[in-house]
Structure 1
Amino acid sequence: MEQTFKDALARALKETKRSLRSVCLKAGVSYDQMKSLMQGKSASTNIDDGIKIAAAFGVSIEDFFAGVFDRQPSVAVAGRVGAGAHVDLVDAYAKGDGMYHVACPPQLKPHGVVAVEVEGDSMLPLHRPGSVLFYTRAAAEGVPVEAINAPCVCEDVDGRAWLKVVKIGSQEGTFSLLSLNPDSDNMHGVRLKWAAPVLLALSPEYVVRVGD
């Protein structure tokens, strides 16, 4: 008999000894809806809520159905960022794919978080080559208010990825990108596809690859 989402959730609650209410609160889904599901008053839930519930247990939806709850959450490293090298980041973060995966730092929740690897010495002394920077994007396009005046992973309209401090530009719709390395050039009048503040940076010695 094929396992239902209700079966998987019941097993997850039993094995992790967590309450349904606490899981729903962390996942940001309706407790009443999940309670109705567990009581058999509704047959199933939508896929988005299912993924959120799985993420609240720190696992993918596949591991959730497989009953794997002790695997360390991981984050996809979507590409490399350095002195203007092209990095394809647009689709990788949404699918959870990437060059490789790293263990999610305990300070972060893995859902919606993606990472890039620092390449070259353009970010010294703050970030060494091989460091991994974590960020999350609230939307696929645009520069949110919280990105202004903050170190960000960003992509310009020409498809180049940068790690820069983002400032409002002198012309409407443009930005100034300030280098973290005092020996690197600043950029002005740049049009950005998107920018996302860096949430956390790990030096190479603290980066733990998973699944290799």
Structure 2
Amino acid sequence: MFTSGMTGKPKGAIIEHLCIATLRCMQPRMFMNSNSCVLQFSSHDWDVAVIETLLTLRVGGCICIPSDEERISNLAQATNQMTVNCAVLTPTVAQLVRPEDFTHLETLVVGGEALSLADLATWHDRVRFIQSYGPAECSIASAVSEPLTLSSNPRTIGQPCGCVAWTVHRDNHHLLGTIQKQLLRSLLSLRPGCRISDKGIYPRGCIKLEI
């Protein structure tokens, strides 16, 4: 999977098929079940497309695929026609539409970008508004929040999902306690020996992240 990530430098990450096992953890966090009609909005180059397709199939839901034209020019009308009740979008895309434009939407999961207080104010009382976080190297989502409220901190990424997380020192990942880097260990991530940082190589299932 290719990404510029938080460094802005293009890179590739080899993701094991084993990471798909974490879909079981995401299912209740994202309120997905056999009644879910999930919008397949993301490019297949992005790992979120795995949530939209494989997680939906796992729970027995319906994958709702708009045309390219509908994605660009008439997303709300297309989702209403397909009775979409769950969507995963970036905050930027969510800002291009209005809650009142959606007839059936019940759950909106946002990720991939920073969330703002304005986003919270717009969506918190109209849908289950959930924030997810997951770097490409630790696909698909390594943290998922509870439904957010107006008083929620938009920087809250939620609880670990399918992994164990530590908050560690920015310059030394062996030291715990400062909110500058996050260390994740799980079966979510890279093959053994993959280089994931300019500062070193970490063991399988271990990844150092900026937050």
Instruction: Normalising by structure 1, report the TM-score.
Output: 0.29
TM-score, length-scaled by structure 2: 0.29
Max Rg structure = 1
